[in-house]
Amino acid sequence: MPSSPGRAQSILAWAVIILMAGPVGAAVWLGLVQGDSPCILCWAQRTSMVLIALVGLFVLRYGPRPRYLGMAVLLGAWGVFMALRHSALHLARDVGQGFSAPIFGVHTYAWSWVVHWTVLAVIGVLLLLLRADDAASGTREPGRTGRFAMGLFLVVVAGNAFQAFASTGPPPFIGQADPVRFSLDPRHWVWSLEETAGAISLRGSWTIPEPDPAVVDPDPAHGPLADLPTLSVSGWEQVGVRLEGTLSDLARDPATGRFLAVTDGHGVYLLDSTLSQVLHHVVLDPGYSIDLSPLAGAAFLGGDTLAVLSTNKSYVLLRPDSSADANREWRHFLSTDGGVSELRRSRFATVRGRQMYVMSLAYDPAADELVTVTVPSPRHRRLVVSRFARTDFLPVSELVPILATGLTPSGPERTLADFVVTGAVVADGSLYALSAAYSTLLVMDPQGRMVRAAYAVPGLQSPTGLTARGSQLLVAQADGRIAVLERPAPQRSPAGS
Amino acid sequence: MEFLNFLIILWAAWLVWRRPAREELAFRLLVLSCLLMALLFLVGTHTSLVPGVNL
């Protein structure tokens, strides 16, 4: 015996009507009238909304059985995931750079998020209104509103089917990532299977392994540049203090001769000019706030300001401070000698160097800019020199250097991206970058537009840092030893470059 | 395939409205359509299954 629709049934019928006439109906209107064709992800999100409405029809007809409510919750949850996945493609772009036409100022992929979240909320309300005898088995008479909802559903779904046939084609064709404008003219239709191309991946371009300079080939003879001159190590020095972690970069202050050493264990050490005495030290807390991966760069920024950089391009500014507040600094440091304050902790933003790690930091006092050089990964094979203004720490330039005349690749597939730069320093108008891979010293103009010269440096073992001392370059190694190089004579840029 | 999926949905809705005794068939069509919808979304995102952000 059919039961008459109750209050919850009436609400449900109106929910189906609103869903089909609102977001789904508007999408059909946008497509058939405005020519706005959905992409393959939009199609799935729209279909999910249609299926939620269909579950509503099931409940109108058969009552709120657990399997229908469960199906609605699953569809709502899956729809929220789809909206997040789809929106992630576009939400982080710049102002006004959304994909396709907005509705009331919001793009459709974001509306899908709202709709599916609302569906979950409505299901919760309906469950609150549910009475114990509502879930009784049997067929129900949907009532006038329910019949209208069913009729509207069929009409709107038929419109979707027509649009889908023209836009995506019959099986096996599927939707496209970047579909063409809707047309009733079959000559304009594009039926494609292009979305099936490409390897399956969980994180796509974000699958970037952490850099590990210990696994690179140190032999200069195997490097990407042919016939390089050799720059021999003229002497060795040693960091004479015990460090917490492995030495990962070394900087020298030309004004005072002091050194700044950092380790992969987030240790920061201000050393005297003989590398034998610790003047100050802290171990940074890497996780309470902005995530610090292992430290890989160090630089003096003039005065007493120290900059350290982690491989994920997060940086910390520190300052020796005899009046440091121990309670304030407790949040910043896992351990400290009590004489250091943290000034700032943030991240460098990059465009060309995005999704790439760095293992070097240099400071150019003439331009008052900080410099990093990317290391390649299987996903992104580029060597990018990025510069950041000291004033606001925003990018100034990001360049992929070219080779000067006279430097030639050692093979057709060999490029500067084969290098793994683990140390950099700006001195006397040149940017020096040392690659742990193939033990090669690159000499560039300060902006990183061109590699003017390159030298093979045999004998290095896991070089992790580079700094300058007068006419010398000092190469820090992971074992704490410092290789001394006599700086090569400056190279002139080729005429016209 | 999206076109096929809408035909399946139309079939299920028609059964619910005009042939309510075929509830089981209609529900199976609903499940089939849900799976096809999810599969098509996964095909469209198979080169990066999770959101392209810094998880």
Confidence at residue A1, expressed as pLDDT on a 0 to 100 scale: 39
Q: Tell me: pLDDT of A50 over 60.
A: yes
CB contact under 8 A, B37 and A48: yes
Question: Same domain, yes or no, for A219 and A76?
Answer: no
Domain closes at, from A148, A169, A185 = A185
* Total domain count, chain A: 2
Q: How far is CA A463 from the centre of its chain?
A: 27
Residue type, A387: R
Give the rounded percent of residues in chain A with a pLDDT score beyond 90: 71
Name the residue facing B48 among A92, A164, A205 (closest C-beta). A205
User: Does residue A190 sit within a domain?
Assistant: no
- Selecting from B13, B30, B51 the residue whose C-beta is nearest the C-beta of A71 gives B30
Res A3: pLDDT: 43
In a domain, A154, yes or no: yes
Indicate if the pLDDT at residue A492 is higher than 70. Answer: no
pLDDT in tens, A377-394: 988 999 999 999 999 999
A330 occurs within a structural domain:
yes
Whether A330 and A277 share a structural domain: yes
A158 and A260 share one domain? no
Tokens representing A378 are 């299987």
Q: What is the pLDDT of residues A303-319, one digit of tens each?
A: 899 999 999 999 999 99
A181 and A218 co-located in one domain: no
Condensed to tens digits (0 to 9), the pLDDT of residues A344-356 reads 999 999 999 999 9
Residues of A in contact with B10 (CB under 8 A): 154, 157-158, 161
Point out the least confidently predicted range of A124-138, A369-383, A397-411, A463-477.
A124-138
Q: For residue A43, how far is the Cα from the chain centroid? A: 27
Verify that A238 and A291 share a domain, yes or no.
Answer: yes
Residue A292 lies in a domain: yes
Give the CB-side neighbour count of residue A47, counting CA atoms within 13 A. 35
What order of strands is seen across the sheet that includes strand A333-336? A247-252, A259-263, A267-271, A278-284, A333-336
Residues A155 and A266 in one domain: no
Verify that A217 and A129 share a domain, yes or no: no
Q: Are strands A340-347 and A362-364 parallel, antiparallel or unpaired?
A: unpaired
* Same domain for A232 and A180: no
Please check whether residue A392 lies inside any domain of the structure.
Answer: yes
Residue type, A104: F
Taking contacts as CB-CB distances below 8 angstroms, the residues of chain B near A170 are 3-4
- Alpha-carbon distance of A370 to A301, in angstroms, equals 8
- Stretch A387-409: mean pLDDT: 96
B44 vs A47: CB contact, 8 Å cut-off? no
Measured between beta carbons, the chain A residues lying within 8 angstroms of B3 are 161, 164-165, 168-171
- pLDDT for residue A493 is more than 70: no
Q: Tell whether A88 is covered by a domain.
A: yes
Asked if pLDDT for residue A376 goes beyond 80, the answer is yes
Q: Which of A142, A169, A185 is the last residue of a domain?
A: A185
Strands (DSSP E) found in A337-488: 340-347, 362-364, 369-373, 385-389, 395-399, 402-403, 421-427, 430-435, 440-444, 450-456, 463-469, 472-477, 481-486
pTM assigned to the model: 0.86
A91, part of any domain: yes
Q: Which of B20, B30, B45 sits opposite A54 (nearest CB)?
A: B30
Residues of chain A found within 8 Å of residue B16, distances taken between Cβ atoms: 54, 57-58, 61, 150
- Are A264 and A152 in a shared domain? no
Q: Is the pLDDT of residue A322 over 70?
A: yes
For residue A281, the model assigns a pLDDT of: 96
Q: How far apart are CA A434 and CA A443, in angstroms?
A: 9
* β-strands A450-456, A402-403 pairing: parallel
Q: Does the beta-carbon distance from A92 to B53 stay under 8 Å?
A: yes
User: Which of A135, A125, A148, A138 lies closest to A13, judged by CA?
Assistant: A148
Q: Show the domain range for A300.
A: 213-486
- A123 and A225 assigned to the same domain: no
Q: With 80 as the cut, is the pLDDT of residue A12 above it?
A: yes
Same domain, A177 and A237: no
The residue out of A168, A185, A202 marking a domain boundary is: A185
CATH of the domain at A121: 1.20.1550
Judge whether A493 lies within some domain: no
- Band the pLDDT of A106: cuts 50, 70, 90: confident
Model confidence at A411: pLDDT above 60:
yes
C-beta atoms of B48 and A206 within 8 A: yes
pLDDT at residue A474 in the model: 98
Find the CATH number of the domain harbouring A282: 2.120.10
Tell me what the pLDDT averaged over chain A comes to.
91
Asked whether the beta carbons of residue A88 and residue B26 sit closer than 8 angstroms, the reply is no
Contact indicator for B27, A180 with CB cutoff of 8 Å: no
Q: Whose CA is closest to A497, among A435, A428, A406?
A: A406
Which residues between 112 and 171 in chain A have a beta carbon less than 8 angstroms from any beta carbon of chain B?
A: 139, 142, 147, 150, 153-154, 157-158, 160-161, 164-165, 167-171
Q: At what angle do helices A7-19 and A40-62 cross, to 10 degrees?
A: 160
A180/A223 same-domain check: no
